[in-house]
Chain A
Amino acid sequence: MKQTDVNTDKRAREKQQGDTHDKWVLRLYVAGQSPKALTAFANLKKICEEQLKGKYSIEVIDLLENPQKGAADQIFALPTLVRKLPVPVRKIIGDLSNTERVLIGLDLLPAD
């Protein structure tokens, strides 16, 4: 973190930082049409529409159909959301029902 940023409004900075990325690539790993998978997808869609409208893409990967894809992204829990872009890669596990934690995980909110 740069020292000049320290005293500025964190939320504004985060917002601005988020805005600087014009391409968000998200991957949602699920196993079939399980309730958790459906919930996760609905939650993700909602958050993205609110925060990243127009500059995100979601790829849903069903491990039941493509089991070999799990290893590449080191997926062990389901559902898992992987933020491929912007870097660094972030992983968010769970059905994304805790919106605040999702935003923190996606770096759309500061951790505190």
Chain B
Amino acid sequence: MRQDYFVLFACCIPVKGHSRSTICDLQRNSFELIPNILFEILTEHEGKAMQTIFATYHHEYNREIEEYLDFLVEKEYGFYSAEPQSFPKLDLTWHNPFPVTHALVDFDEKSKHPLPHIVKQLTAMFCPAIELRFFHAPSLEVLENTLQTFQDSPFRSVQMIAGYSKDLTIAQLTALAYQYPRLQSLVIHSTPSENIPASSDISIPHLTFIEQNLSSEACCGNISPRYFTVNRQFFTEAQTFNSCLNRKISIDKRGFIKNCPSMTQHFGHIEATSLADVVKQQAFQKAWHISKDQVTTCQDCEFRYVCHDCRAYVANPGNALSKPAKCRYNPYEATWEAATIG
């Protein structure tokens, strides 16, 4: 005889959308689509004995309910147990010690803002991660000097995006990655398709060549299942904070300090304003607190805690809380417009 209670593993969290739901598996980094009726059984009747659940539905759906739950057991989302009280839920509070967790600095060939000045300020705030986007094709020397800036700094991750140039060889870039272990990823954009190397020619995992043209900040803000992130950090942060902008600071290609380089509002120029002062401003932190639960349409979407938000390009520029403009998903119909899938 089967045990009395069904329990979801605490890392498998049901999220209700308008027309269907997901179970987000924060441990195995995946999700499962489920019907809303199953969401109801898992949440409203959580902790109730199987027999009680059957009775709630007047014993009309005993077999269906059992089949659903057996499916979840088979997929290892949950288990039957005699002691559900021993398995508390996951606390979904997001914890992070850093006042700024992520910095984004943009450059094009006309940029004048000096990186060392920026890095020094971020270092004082113990910012652990930085992303540098070169919309143009910088020389090897520029890339080297850039990475040199991070020697003896507390940054744990440096990511770079740079434009393609035939003068940058795979060998040179590989050597660069070996010399600077902080470099976690290097993406070379605008690569002519005939020059994209076979993956077997690249010996390190963090070097990628892509055809896509990332020559301005407008390349950002895309919403697609490709960018879904299903893990504990992301999911807990998205409960109360903006999944793109929280504790982020950006310096755009002209040196203006912003939440995101694609946004128009700025909080001063890097030459005259200190990053630490900007980070403390309530006006600057406002965007950090726009969670998906506040965004129209997104709040009804079953993907809202695994999807990156975008506040720079919104569907209705008159409404700061409207959904990301580049999202093609309709949670009311549970359909994707074909264009962005792939």
Q: Do A and B come from one complex?
A: no
Which residues of A approach B to under 8 Å, CB–CB?
none
Which residues of B approach A to under 8 Å, CB–CB?
none
